[in-house]
Amino acid sequence: MCATPDAQPKGSDSRMREGALSMGLDDELAAHVEAIRGTVAGSSAVISGIAARLATCFDQGGKLLICGNGGSAADAQHFAAEFVNRMRVDRPPLPAVALTTDTSVLTSIANDAAYDRVFARQVEALGRPGDVLIALSTSGGSANVLAAIRAGRRRGMVTVGFTGEAGAELMGADCDHLLAVPSRDTARIQECHEFVYHVIAAMVEQQLFASRSADTERVSSLE
């Protein structure tokens, strides 16, 4: 039986799939790098300002509250861990609380009041003047996140918003500091947010624990 004219050599389907996957990965990587570079170019002063304000907050005995939905809820917990535990330096813990973790609190507020209040109610309970609230919303339109920001302002907190290009106008009016990734792609926005979290956590450690950081670097150089 003769092969049809368009028959492919054995294994060609696999190679074609690998080629398509490789092109997809290259495109995703290029978009990721472009978003990171755009964020750094447009928001370096904002990033430094957030880090400086957090360092002042912690130095004066204040705390950090963080909230967000979905992937941003996981990011809130991740970011809090960098302060409560550590980023790069062995140092005393810093008070940071993710408002996304207590299921009894979250579900009772959602059940008795409204889901839009799940973060604002906690801000009202825990926030104090001079504390910092970081509110995460890739779209900038999450009702419960916006309510938390407004509650933070009423409590005299420093309000910080993390969003994407489309969310800048929605969140900006009530935020003392706003980090807006120049992208409308949720994945790219979240990736840039995580990059910035790590940069800020490292900057805060450097500002508060410079001597410990120097000691850590000296030990590493001797190993």
Amino acid at 45: A
Please tell me the predicted confidence (pLDDT) of residue 182.
97
Distance of CA 106 to the CA centre of its chain: 20
Whether residue 154 lies inside any domain: the answer is: yes
Please tell me the predicted confidence (pLDDT) of residue 9.
54
Nearest to 203 by CA among 61, 65, 83, 78: 83
Residue given tokens 């889901």 in the structure block:
115
Task: Tell me the pTM.
Answer: 0.85
Q: Which residues of the chain have pLDDT under 50?
A: 1-7, 218-223
Specify which residues 178 forms β-bridges with.
Answer: 161
Distance of CA 14 to the CA centre of its chain: 38
Nearest to 14 by CA among 3, 22, 2: 22
- The SS3 call for residue 163 is strand
Please tell me the predicted confidence (pLDDT) of residue 219.
43
Whether residue 219 lies inside any domain: the answer is: no
Whether residue 6 lies inside any domain: the answer is: no
Whether residue 142 lies inside any domain: the answer is: yes
Whether residue 78 lies inside any domain: the answer is: yes
Domain holding 107, by residue range, is: 16-212
Whether residue 69 lies inside any domain: the answer is: yes
Whether residue 181 lies inside any domain: the answer is: yes
Please tell me the predicted confidence (pLDDT) of residue 218.
47
| CATH code: domain of residue 63 | 3.40.50.10490
Distance separating alpha carbons of residues 102 and 107, to the nearest angstrom: 9
User: How many domains is the chain partitioned into structurally?
Assistant: 1
Whether residue 222 lies inside any domain: the answer is: no
